[in-house]
Structure 1
Amino acid sequence: MSDTYSYLGPSGTFTEAALAQVPEAQGQEWRSVNNVGEALDDVVSGRSVAAMIAIENSIEGGVTATLDALARTPGLRIVGEYLVRVSFVLVARPGTTLEDVRVVGAHPVAYAQCRQWLDANLPTHGHIPATSNVAAALDLFATDHADAALAPPAIVRHHDLVVLAEDVTDNANSVTRFVLVSRSTRMPEPTGADKTSLIVELPDDRPGALLEMLEQFSTRGVNLSLLQSRPIGDALGRYRFVVDADGHVRDERVADALLGLRRFSPRITFLGSYPRADRAPVEYVSRYDDGVFVEARDWLRGLISGEPDVPESL
């Protein structure tokens, strides 16, 4: 019996391209879903063993729908991350020219990444939001509300569309980061090029609360590659923070930072430690080596047990 993996579909999306990078998913069943919530529900219910979801774009930052869904859905772990370069094609029904385009269908994130190009090439265009990049193209067949759509380049392999423009993007370096989410609590082994993801709530709305949270990382030499606030929703001024920390929870400096967070925050959601997609080794200064933390604990244990505190130089 094959395992099922969920992804934002239909076929041809960037999410599908990210799932294609997962060795364990090859030869398994891939289930197309309509949104992040449905993908995570598949995992929670056991319908799928894992789901691939977009979490961050190098231009737009964190994908808020994903960040909020992860905060609301307990028991999930990120087990891997994958990067996909993002550029679009402007497609239309056969017989359409660029001069015919008045309204463009596009996923809101895609539209934001191509807004300057569209304003320069179609200065009077309107925009109709779509649920996914591929859905924007398929809507051209379902309705006549849009004249063209922004879609992944692979779309033309699956549907009878004409390409009005290629490599549509405002930034040639645009990359979207995807994460594979499962219910498994089995953590990938440390590689030296890892990332740890958390959701942290501040204990209260007061001066210095955010600084106190950040100090849990800075005083242990842990760099943050993502820090994004999202409203909790129960009152104005109440926020949770999505955090990506460089390193693995089994690294002493990261573990010690989590202990500090646990004493500080009323609610921490551990989303997992997993290898970085770029495999770039985590850099930190030597005073935060694992051995330094181990020696400090041994020193304290010796003090408590009554061992003589003899300076190393003697």
Structure 2
Amino acid sequence: MSGGRNYRRKFMNTLMFVLAMGATAVALVPLASILMYVVAKGLTALNWDFFTQLPRPVGQPGGGLGNAIIGTIILVVAASFIGIPVGILAGIYLAEFGRGRLAGLVRFICDVMTGIPSIIVGIVVYGTMVLAMKRFSALAGAVALAVIMLPLVTRTTEEMLRLVPNSLREASLALGATRWRTTLSIVLRSAMGGIITGSLLAVARIAGETAPLLFTALNSRYWPTGLLDRIASLPVYIYTYATTPYEEMHRLAWGAALVLVAMVMLTSIAARMAGRRFGGGGRQ
């Protein structure tokens, strides 16, 4: 009797293991296929000119997307300077000080914003900034990207801070430290790994956004000149070139897609390394 039960348990264990491995393979095959296809198509466009030259006029071969690469870096860095500090401060408030209806409202808004299509954010920033300034600009694009990453950073910070044991807070307060001193020096430092990881994943999330930039930063065929001017970006160029009938532009679009995937992959790797470096956040 017991032998039959053991047999059934081993059979179900093996069956579940095989099903789990099969589901993993089903999930990985399309992802690996897409990555390999992008690499195969994009490598043909990568050369020194691609990284250092401006786009050529329609019909002329050669050129590159150096302005779009620099523009993408500027947009992501500017958005990070706006979104990450605000998101971390909001997460600290929710985890350490937020009580009552206001905190619940902030959490609800963050959850709703996480699911809002990015094109809606672009339209809102277009109506509030672009029309007010009467010009497309890199600053408007950075604000739109910052709005997208803000709820991700906020909720990640809150959850990481909640993982920090209360005993650390109590020990700090017992030694005479103030609440803010405890939060900044003890709690925040303990959760720094998870916060950095969440922030880098939010950066990777906004790096490939196209729709908000079409309404805010638009595009440019020239090198970036400032945050108050239009600016080029890889996602917009991929969208623009992929919809043209010219083979040369298709080749550049594949190259831009490969560079963008590489940037996102490096950011994700940095996030994993940061998580390991700091012990995975607030776990003690």
TM-score by length of 1: 0.19
Q: Which has the higher contact order (CA 8 A, sep 6+)?
A: 2
Q: TM-score by structure 2 length?
A: 0.20
| Higher strand fraction (1 or 2) | 1
Q: Which has the higher helix share?
A: 2
